A and B are shown apart, each in its own frame.
Chain A
């Protein structure tokens, strides 16, 4: 009896020592760093296979990321494409040239206005006669029938239909205004198209994320099968499920991160290849538009996304297959 109590005390002491060792933060971090490096080393040893898996993940990540960036650029383009989303404010004939100039200057200060161009009646007449071929008829007129026009381009946050129409209202209320016209239909259509595109990319993105999840899950499942013997032995000599799980989780995480980095390279390369023809096309429209990718922000988002997908995928695989391997 006395002896058994002593044993109990000893075993309790043993327990406490074990617990202290496990909870020591330095050992904990050291262990995780070790497992993370081990998993990375294992991927490196099978680098061809690992790279192929990572490449498939990369393509699945690059597709939605690239499409989203294209859409983003398109939206930026629609916000700045002069002439198209602009508003024509026809002024009363009674407004003098200097008053029109003052008005243009004050309107330029409005927050919802990107830029204002004043087209004087003389300029309008000149343009009209050049384009219409009615020069002779116009010459026959005693005075210029055309009003002064403010060509207003809304600021980037005010291109959606509601804001643009509110801006039109504001112009209509000005005493100098005869008529404020907005090509609202065009803005509405573009917004609708972009909306569909955004929805489509979201759906594609979700499906491809699911594909990445399954891909990583399957890879980890194979890895677990390959290391069956090792799992059995480690469990036999006292490994907890957490210990057995850890290398596989890190393996999935690395796949995600690797895939994300390759995806980033793919997107950046794709945009680099597109940038020259796009600038060329924009040049034909007298625009200095160029593609933008925000490389570091993109890399950050891709890596975080890839990491989460990798962890989740391997977690699912590990949960399903690891418990089934028990020594017998």
Chain B
């Protein structure tokens, strides 16, 4: 699903956030990405979501080389990826329903189809009764679940999560991770960046560990 081949990322100014990263994550796999803050976790996820572009090396997503893909094609790649942020980036002037519907509207789904899919996603995340509320009235955990609903509503092949439990207490964090495991069970590939080591150790999934922009240890296929 994700293949990094000797990828480096150097920011303007010379700071090398990632050096010579190579790994392969199988389709349908679920893995964690760990490391101290500043180790390059966010940068790695941003490379996959094509928010940042690789300086060197080849990046394959779903068998497609996206390292040098044109700007105009980026949106179509992003539609295959569900991205979950720590600050969840919800739009506060829209209802929960409208927030979750956004990826479907962007992809051009029909009106009836949008309603059906949004309610299915909200139902899966236990938010069906909140669809008419505005995100500001929800708790932190609920807001994060709205963010997840928005990421999965489009049935993406890959879920990326950047510190999804960063602002949540341990119980809620466990709940969120269980949700990810649930999506993984139906075949979605999941990559979660987190520094919550105790929680990661509780769960039986491989982890990629970054240290100063280099892969330090890994249980995922290294190449």
| Residue positions of A touching B, CB distance < 8 A | 4, 7-8, 11, 14-15, 18, 21-22, 27, 30-31, 229-230, 232-241, 243, 326-328
Contacts and interface: CB of A to CB of B under 8 A. Distances in A.
Which of B77, B107, B109 has the largest number of chain A CB atoms within 10 A? B107
A7 B106 contact: no
Given A7-B63, A327-B51, A328-B51, A237 B83 contact: yes
B76 A18 contact: yes
A21 B107 contact: yes
A235 B107 contact: no
B102 interface: yes
Nearest to B1: A7
B165 to A, nearest CB: 20
A306 B51 CA distance: 38
Contact of B107 (A8, A18, A327, A328): A18
B64 A11 contact: yes
Given A7-B63, A18-B76, A232-B89, A238 B106 contact: yes
B82 to A, nearest CB: 8
Given A4-B63, A233-B89, A234-B102, A239 B75 contact: yes
B121 interface: no
A21 B77 CA distance: 16
The residue among B64, B78, B151 with the most chain A CB atoms within 10 A of its own CB is B78
A30 B106 contact: no
B62 A234 contact: no
A233 B105 CA distance: 13
Given A18-B108, A22-B108, A233-B89, 13 more contacts: A11-B62, A11-B64, A18-B76, A230-B93, A233-B90, A236-B49, A238-B154, A239-B106, A240-B72, A240-B76, A241-B75, A327-B51, A328-B46
B51 A238 contact: no
Contacts of B62: 7, 11
Nearest to B89: A233
B213 interface: no
Contact of A8 (B63, B72, B78, B79): B63
Interface residues of B, number: 33
A239 B106 CA distance: 6
Given A11-B62, A236-B49, A27 B110 contact: yes
Nearest to B73: A240
A14 B77 CA distance: 11
Interface in B147-187: 150-151, 154
Nearest to A328: B51
Closest A-B pairs by Cβ, 8 of them: A238-B79, A238-B78, A240-B75, A7-B63, A4-B63, A239-B106, A238-B75, A237-B103
Given A8-B63, A237-B103, A239-B106, A30 B111 contact: yes
Contacts of B52: 328
Chain A CB within 10 Å, residue with most, of B93, B151, B154: B93
B89 A236 contact: yes
A24 to B, nearest CB: 8
B91 interface: yes
Interface string B72-106: 10011111110100000111010000000011011
Contacts of A241: 72, 75
A18 B103 CA distance: 13
A237 B102 contact: yes
Contacts of A234: 102, 106
Contacts of B77: 238
B115 to A, nearest CB: 13
Contacts of A233: 89-91, 102
B27 interface: yes
A236 B78 contact: yes
Given A4-B63, A229-B91, A232-B89, A237 B106 contact: yes
Given A21-B108, A236-B49, A327-B51, A230 B76 contact: no
B91 A230 contact: yes
Contacts of B105: 31
Interface in B35-80: 46, 49, 51-52, 62-64, 72, 75-80
A11 B75 contact: no
Contact of A236 (B27, B51, B72): B51
Contacts of A18: 76, 79, 107-108
Contacts of B110: 27, 30
A204 to B, nearest CB: 40
A11 B80 CA distance: 10
B189 to A, nearest CB: 12
Contacts of A31: 105, 108
